[in-house]
Amino acid sequence: MDPDLGEGVVGLLKESDILLEGGKIAALGQNLRGYGAQVVDATGKIVMPGFVDAHNHLWQSLIRGCGLEHDVGGWLNACSTPLRANPLLTPTREETYAIVRLSTLDLIDTGVTTVVDWSHSFTPDFVRGDLQALSESGMRFVYVYNGANNPTVLQDIPVVKQTLVDPHPRAAGFQIGAKPSLPLTGSTPFEVLLALAIELGVKVNSHVLENLADLKDRPLEALGLAGAFGPSLILNHAIHLTDDEIALLADHDVRAVHNPLSNMRLASGIMRLPDLHQAGVRVGLGSDGGTNDTSNFFDTMRVAVGLQRAKHLQATVYPTVPDVLRMATLGGAELLDLGDKIGSLTPGKKADLIILNPATLNFAPRLNWVNQIVFNGQPKNVEWVFVDGHPLKARGRLVGVHPEAVVAAAEAAAARIRHDGIAAGTFPE
């Protein structure tokens, strides 16, 4: 998956060894020797970079299966807003930890090694439970603190960045979540949070134009007037863009994240991925939490390819299989400005990689393994997951984890909140 080192767009190397040392990739090539090295025999298997999930809401495993009859506005009202509106329904620190723990393990199982957790940051306790689970997961993570214009949040943001995220060895960034809309007054939440992001030197991460109803807020105009355009701006969904707006994003090197499964489920629309690519906008792939319904990153890649083919009635439209593999790995890394550290198997980069076993009922026999990764791959093919050279999944099993206990803790949290929510009449039965 480094075109400079191997053949073709994905940089294919056959029968290669890979030497990991000190958490980094030390070398690629045949007959490598590492003195005292532990050997994982990957003969007949596929070694590739771990996936970069560029947009997720890890707490939303709590509301899996919720509001399937709604679009995004209805889904938010039914499934998410009640948890913020009624403090009794907001997950406690322990409940947040339990549910985020479940999500991190589900992501590791499918081969995600870096995740952007766009946390709704309901309370300072919620933030800490979320970060505790991210920290213990062993994954690389970017934490997005959903900002609000109130003193508690504005004070907590720099504290969390400086004490919990910056010092963490696997934290790959801190960002501020904020929603742009017109009118601007100089003191709207978006403007206050943008100023704080600039002060802290962090990226702003927004949901824009996910649904046609978002057009009324004129978010692109708001971003422009607020002076937010630039490489430090990440836009999730960005489905209903005009040609001029796509050119504007490209001119300012604004980054975007495609969440195809969520967009399908919520009847949101289909991102103009070929046009964004043509214009030169960097786009990564994301899971978008509860409305993605699955963490299976193979599904997400397959759907990103399939949606454009179905829309354009053309089998060669962007993204092709190599394109989507790049989007799911190096593309995500680049949009986070981490392209020099992760996203490909390149000497000097972090040892974040996965090993797939293709000798399974759903994957074999071999015809074109690159195509088969995207069109046949499943989490069960992911035998090994390494982050910083540490195995988080080994021989098909999550390392040091009792899934039954994790599921039971998440179930207890969900049951408590569902019970109290139904009692309060603000949560769907």
Residue 415 CB, shortest distance to Zn ion, in Å, is 25
Q: Report if residue 53 touches Zn ion, rule: CB under 5 A.
A: no
Say whether 52 sits in a helix, a strand or coil. Answer: strand
Show contacts with Zn ion in window 288-317 (CB under 5 A). Answer: 288
- Which residue stretch of 14-22, 73-81, 135-143, 280-288 sits at the interface with Zn ion (rule: CB under 5 A)? 280-288
Residues in contact with Zn ion, counted by CB under 5 A, come to a total of: 1
Decide whether 95 or 288 has the Cβ nearer to Zn ion: 288
Decide whether 57 or 140 has the Cβ nearer to Zn ion: 57
Q: Which residue has the tokens 């799911």?
A: 328
Decide whether 10 or 115 has the Cβ nearer to Zn ion: 115
Residue 242 CB, shortest distance to Zn ion, in Å, is 22
Say whether 386 sits in a helix, a strand or coil. Answer: strand
Q: Which residue has the tokens 């080192």?
A: 5
Please give the Cα distance from 28 to 346 (Å, whole number): 8
Q: Which residue has the tokens 């505790």?
A: 132
CA angle 180, 183, 189 (to 5 degrees): 50
Going by C-alpha positions, the residue among 393, 287, 385 that lies closest to residue 332 is 287
Decide whether 82 or 138 has the Cβ nearer to Zn ion: 82
Tokens of 398: 């999550």
Decide whether 109 or 288 has the Cβ nearer to Zn ion: 288
Decide whether 262 or 346 has the Cβ nearer to Zn ion: 262
Residue 207 CB, shortest distance to Zn ion, in Å, is 5
Identify the bridge partners of residue 384 per DSSP, sorted by sequence position: 355
- Give yes or no for a contact between 82 and 298, defined as CB atoms under 8 angstroms apart: no
Decide whether 51 or 118 has the Cβ nearer to Zn ion: 118
- Which residue stretch of 142-150, 222-230, 242-250, 286-294 sits at the interface with Zn ion (rule: CB under 5 A)? 286-294
Examine residue 151 and say whether the peptide bond preceding it is cis (omega within 30 degrees of 0).
no
Say whether 21 sits in a helix, a strand or coil. Answer: strand
Going by C-alpha positions, the residue among 259, 238, 256 that lies closest to residue 303 is 259
Residue 146 CB, shortest distance to Zn ion, in Å, is 10
Decide whether 123 or 236 has the Cβ nearer to Zn ion: 236
Please give the Cα distance from 174 to 219 (Å, whole number): 23
Nearest residue relative to Zn ion (C-beta): 288
Residue 80 CB, shortest distance to Zn ion, in Å, is 10
- Which residue stretch of 139-147, 165-173, 272-280, 287-295 sits at the interface with Zn ion (rule: CB under 5 A)? 287-295
Residue 57 CB, shortest distance to Zn ion, in Å, is 6
- Which residue stretch of 162-170, 191-199, 284-292, 299-307 sits at the interface with Zn ion (rule: CB under 5 A)? 284-292
Please give the Cα distance from 230 to 203 (Å, whole number): 10
Residue 289 CB, shortest distance to Zn ion, in Å, is 6
Burial of 249 (0-12, 13-18, 19+ CB in 10 A): buried
Decide whether 268 or 346 has the Cβ nearer to Zn ion: 268
Residue 55 CB, shortest distance to Zn ion, in Å, is 6
| DSSP-derived secondary structure for 329-379 | IIIHHHHTT-TTTSSS--TTSB--EEEE---STTTPSPS-HHHHHHHH--G
Say whether 277 sits in a helix, a strand or coil. Answer: helix
Residue 17 CB, shortest distance to Zn ion, in Å, is 39
Interface with Zn ion by CB under 5 A: which residues? 288
